[in-house]
């Protein structure tokens, strides 16, 4: 299937359009948003030149599964998934933060730790840890949500001093983030996985905090296989993981880290096929369901039809 890398819809009642790294967001009237999840892939906050077949369907399917599983913790923006690549939900005023939570010393946290840093976004990282070790308790390391370019690490003190949110709202964001991570951890454990780290995004609607965007997907989260984790750590062996980290690692081996003036290397066919298979593997592992791809010859026409039919019935 040809990957969905660009959309340009004009849905009935459309009032706005925003094109993100992966999701294209279309405002409908005053209170609805249509999220079209493309097959674009980004790493180091840079969108690659090629899309990944079926990636959008995987992300949308996993996100829908988890959004429906946390409504007892926090209201979510999600209303319906009328198409494999589409979520329709409430329009919210986004909070320009990513609430990143880490249970293990992996990825960005490890890269900072290996430079000698022991504080990340105001959170302490104990001495004597090695890559992929579990933290004594999960740490929250927020990042500013950039309109363009790189997100930046930020401490809770700076979040409040810059008036991104009030102290009361930030405290609630932390509470909800920990509760969501606990729920995700329990669900992953039931599938033989470890939820290593993830991020959550929030917005406000009618004065109420709401969970927005995707959760617990391979784009927003990192998973280890639980079986053999301890043995691999003891032997200083790499962890077997399901995440987008292998994409970053592939790019780094090709000399790209998203630095200024760097151009990402082209993704070859073998690597694109590998990424698709990894995303499908994660979908099936975390949901416990077979991935059944929708192979429409014209996915753009299919999406438009699905959304218009849903809007006509609402």
Token pair listed for 90? 């409430």
Q: Where are the domains of the chain?
A: 14-91+260-313, 94-246
pLDDT of residue 137: 98
pLDDT of residue 245: 82
CB atoms within 10 A of CB 40: 23
For residue 174, which of 187, 159, 189 has the smallest C-alpha distance?
159
The Cα–Cα gap between 212 and 202 comes to 5
pLDDT of residue 54: 96
The answer to whether 45 and 26 are in contact (CB under 8 A) is no
Q: What is the mean pLDDT of each run of 10 residues along the chain (314 residues)?
A: 94 96 96 97 92 96 95 98 97 96 96 97 98 98 76 94 97 98 96 96 96 92 96 96 87 92 93 94 92 94 98 92
Phi, psi of 252 (to 5 degrees): -65, -35
For residue 220, which of 242, 204, 203, 239 has the smallest C-alpha distance?
242
Class of domain 94-246: alpha beta
Question: For the stretch 139-170, what's the b/e string if a residue is b when 16 or more beta carbons lie within 10 angstroms of its beta carbon?
Answer: bbbbbbbeeeeebebbebeebbeeebbeeebb
CATH homologous superfamily, domain 14-91+260-313 = Phosphorylase Kinase; domain 1 (3.30.200.20)
pLDDT of residue 145: 76
For residue range 20-48, what is the model confidence (pLDDT) as tens digits?
999 999 999 999 999 999 999 999 889 99
């Amino acid at each position: 299937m040809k990957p969905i890398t660009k959309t340009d819809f004009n849905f009935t009642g459309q009032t706005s359009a925003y094109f993100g790294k992966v999701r294209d967001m279309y405002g409908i009237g005053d209170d609805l948003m249509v999220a079209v999840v493309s097959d674009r892939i980004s790493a180091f906050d840079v969108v690659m030149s090629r899309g990944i077949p079926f990636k959008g369907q995987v992300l949308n399917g996993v996100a829908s599964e988890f959004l429906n599983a946390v409504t007892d913790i926090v209201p979510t923006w999600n209303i319906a998934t009328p198409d494999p690549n589409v979520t329709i939900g409430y329009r919210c005023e986004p909070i320009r933060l990513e609430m990143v939570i880490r249970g293990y010393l992996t990825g960005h946290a490890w890269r900072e730790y290996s430079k000698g840093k022991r504080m990340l976004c105001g959170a302490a990282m104990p001495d004597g840890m090695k890559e992929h070790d579990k933290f004594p308790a999960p740490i929250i390391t927020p990042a500013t949500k950039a309109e363009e370019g790189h997100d930046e690490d930020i401490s809770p003190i700076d979040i409040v001093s810059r008036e991104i949110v009030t102290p009361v709202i930030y405290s609630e964001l932390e509470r909800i983030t920990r509760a969501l991570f606990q729920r995700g951890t329990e669900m992953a454990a039931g599938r033989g996985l470890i939820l290593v780290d993830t991020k959550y995004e929030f917005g406000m609607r009618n004065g109420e905090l709401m969970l927005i965007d995707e959760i617990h997907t391979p784009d927003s989260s990192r998973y280890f296989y639980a079986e053999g984790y301890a043995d691999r750590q003891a032997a200083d062996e790499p962890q077997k993981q399901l995440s987008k980290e292998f994409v970053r690692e592939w790019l780094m081996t090709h000399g790209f880290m998203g630095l200024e003036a760097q151009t990402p290397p082209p993704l070859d066919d073998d690597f694109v096929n590998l990424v698709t298979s990894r995303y499908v593997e994660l979908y099936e592992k975390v949901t416990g369901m077979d991935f059944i791809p929708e192979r429409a010859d014209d996915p753009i026409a299919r999406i438009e039809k699905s959304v218009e039919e849903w809007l006509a019935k609402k």
